[in-house]
Every structure is written in C-alpha cells, then in structure tokens.
Amino acid sequence: MTGKQKKALKRNIIGYSFILPNFIGYFIFIFVPVILTFVLCVMKWDGSSAPLEFVGLQNFAKLFRDSGFRISVKNTLYYAVFTVPLTMVASLLIAVLLNSKIRGIVVYRTAFFFPYVASLVAVGAVWNMLFQPEFGPINEFLKFIGVANPPKWCASTDWAMTVIIIVSVWKYMGYYMVVYLAALQGISQDLYEAASIDGATGFKKFRYITIPMLTPTTFFVIIMMTIQCFKVFDLIYVMTGGGPGRSTNVLVNHIYNAAFVDFKFGYASASALVLFAIVLVVTVIQFRGEKKFTDYV
C-alpha cells in the first residue's frame, strides 16, 4: 500500500470506530431481538434452560382465542382514537398562539415544552397524586364546587383510560407544538398580507392558508402519534399497571405480561408480531390516504 492509501485507510478506521458502538448497540438490542421474535413466535419456551419446542402456528391460534388479547387491542384502539386528534388539535392551537408576537413568548414556549422532557415516572407519580380519589386536589376541587361523588379516576374502570388520555395529551402536545411552530414559521407572510388585502378574516386565513400549508406537518404528526399510541406502555405501567381489572391493559402491556410475568415467550413473540402488523397496516393506509387528505384540505 502506498502512503496515501494507508492514510485513507487510517481515516476510515477512525471514522468507523466512532460509529461502531452505535452499530453494536443496534445489533444487540434491536436486530437480535427482532430475529429472535420471528424464531420464538413458532416456538414454546418459558425462558429457562428447557429446550425450545416447535409448535407452528399454535401461538397465533391461541392469541386470537384469548379474550385478554382482544381487550388489549380494543383498549389500544380506544386510546389512539382519542389521543391522536386531541394531541394534534391542542398542539396546533398552542403553536398558532405562540407564533404571535407576545411578551415573554420564550417563557411560554418553554413551559409548554417542559412536560415532554420531564421524567415519565415523575409525571405518572405526580398525576396519580393529583387524581387520588380520596384526598387528591382534583377531587377536592370538585367537592368544593358541589360535586357530591367525584370519579375514582385511576381506581375506576370507567375513568382510568380517560386519565391516561388526559396525561398523554398534556405530556406530548409540547413536542408536536414545536413541530407545528417550526412549520408555521416557514409559511410566507406574503400569503397572509394578500389575504388581508382581500378582506379575509383571521379564521379564513387559518382555514384557507394555515391548515393547507401545514398539511405535510399534520400528516407527519398523525403518523408519529398513531405509532406512538400503539406502542404506549411506560405511562400506563407507571400510573395503572394495566388496571383496574383490564381497563387500561393495552397491547404492549399484554406482551410484557405474557413474556415477563407468565414467561410465555413464544406467545409474547406472536403478540409482538401482530402488533407490528397492525402498525404496518395503519401506516400504509395513512400513506395511501395522504393524497386524498391533501386534496380535501
């Protein structure tokens, strides 16, 4: 090798050495588990030293007969149907308000974004205390204004998922507010000035300029929020653990319990693949519907 080739090789080795830890982490924590999921979905294994037993599609057959799985799918869909639009609308309205020139705008933007970077365990613990049925501030306030029997919130099968949705919207709207804010600042002011000359009101500017110009951003938010909702686990695990009963037991909770509580790794792997298929189908449908959504707006 010539001296020039040696120097080039040395530069390449140094460069690859910087990204090697990332590749190792990806291989160990993502690639290997994905391959094992495909292998274990047709196996019966309890995670011990016992040999793997090939069972074919029995795990999938058991999965679709399991009422717990059907309940977890229903809960996940319910959570997504309400969380996605509420978060999207809240983040868009806040972004529009914070895009105006008002005093202390940086403080307001920071305040709305802070919940997203806050520790999720701390967030769950604080909201659990706020929604505490007996002595929580929220129920104390409801009693103060005359509500005789305020909800039990996280201890109630009727209200637990509502609490999760409220906390989710509060926590994640700050991130998507920043996304919308960046998109809003990319819209040319000439469009608004031309609309003002034509006599357009603020609402018409919002309806016929802001919303259409934000269509790509809205599509991105819908895709990311939907995937995030189907993967929700940590907030529910901290606040309700999937209860009371199975009222907040979503798909990832179901997979976690099957694998690390019941030690049914084959069944859990089959559940994980079904979750992957659901997210893939939803994403494909949303991508195919992007053009129609754009034309409608």
- Nearest-angstrom CA–CA distance, 256 and 233: 9
74: number of Cβ within 10 Å: 14
Residue 296's pLDDT is what? 53
The pLDDT assigned to 294 comes to: 56
Contact 72, 63 (CB under 8 A): no
pLDDT tens for each residue of 110-139: 899 999 999 888 999 999 999 998 889 999
> Apex CA 125: angle with CA 124 and CA 126, to 5°?
95
The tokens for 184 are 């809003």
Cα–Cα distance measured from residue 267 to residue 66, given in angstroms and rounded to the nearest whole number? 11
Q: Which residues sit opposite 297 in a β-bridge?
A: none
**Mean pLDDT (10-residue bins), the chain, 297 residues:** 79 89 91 91 85 89 91 94 95 90 84 90 92 91 90 92 95 94 89 86 86 88 90 92 91 93 92 91 78 57
Could you tell me the pTM of the whole model?
A: 0.87
Q: For 223, which DSSP code?
A: H
Q: What are phi and psi of 62, to 5 degrees?
A: -65, -35
- Look at residue 142 in the predicted model and tell me its pLDDT: 92
Phi, psi of 99, deg, nearest 5 = -85, -10
CA–CA separation, 13 vs 158, rounded Å?
A: 59
Task: State whether CATH 3.40.50.1100 applies to domain 68-295.
Answer: no
Tokens of 269: 């792997």
Which residues are CB-contacts of 296 (< 8 A; sequence separation ≥ 6)? Answer: none
Q: Where are the domains of the chain?
A: 68-295
Question: Do the Cβ atoms of 286 and 222 come closer than 8 Å?
Answer: yes
Question: What values do phi and psi take at 241, rounded to 5?
Answer: 65, 20
Q: Give me the pLDDT at residue 1, please.
A: 65
